[in-house]
Structure 1
């Protein structure tokens, strides 16, 4: 029977744990501070997913067309991204859909 000491277990845990903090607490606090922005981000994500389905495209296809990683697209469609205007415009151009309407005057 393999009896590990507490120190052995802690050492093993430290060897597999991430070197840097995931900063999840900071992200959660930021999201809680601006629920309207988070809601709009989720709406954009839903619209991206709907248009991908309509076009028969995958998230990977979108990533390739935008020259970003599939992980980036995945974070967008989770509805947790703080999109830049540039990113939104690029997505709109590739998908042929308006994600944010802007009124003039």
Structure 2
């Protein structure tokens, strides 16, 4: 990642060369850029986001420079008021395991159903298995 010249962060990174800090700054800039895009798509300004979050406009401006380290709580608040994820994390897959019996003596193999709704029949009535 390349930072603008005469930037305090760039100067510090060049002097200290910490790859963890460089990665953190890169992520913070990416989050700030995503928030900028989301605001622009909605025709909103930083001051609008400040009102929506009940924050001072100066604090939001600081966030949007990319030098602010965002907490997951802050990111979640922004995602909630703007109605869109800033960070997309894949949902965990849910597996359901059960054994199928043809009759009491014959056991078939254990089966997994990924992202499927599973129903059981009980007394002629179907019910969703949770």
TM-score under structure 1 normalisation? 0.66
Q: Which has the higher contact order (CA 8 A, sep 6+)?
A: 1
Could you say which residue in structure 2 is the equivalent of 1:35?
22
Q: Which consecutive unaligned segments of at least 5 residues does structure 1 have?
A: 1-23
Give the CA deviation at 1:32.
5.9
Structure (1 or 2) with the greater strand fraction? 2
Could you say which residue in structure 2 is the equivalent of 1:65?
52
Structure (1 or 2) with the greater helix fraction? 1
Change (3 A) 1:58 1:37: same
Q: In structure 2, the residue corresponding to 1:82 is in which secondary structure?
A: coil
TM-score under structure 2 normalisation? 0.54
Runs of 4+ in structure 1 off by over 6 angstroms are none
Could you say which residue in structure 2 is the equivalent of 1:75?
62
Counterpart check, 1:85 vs 2:58:
no
Equivalent positions of 1:11-30 (< 5 A) are 28=12
Aligned length: 79
For 1:92 and 1:60, how far apart are their aligned partners in 2? Answer: 16
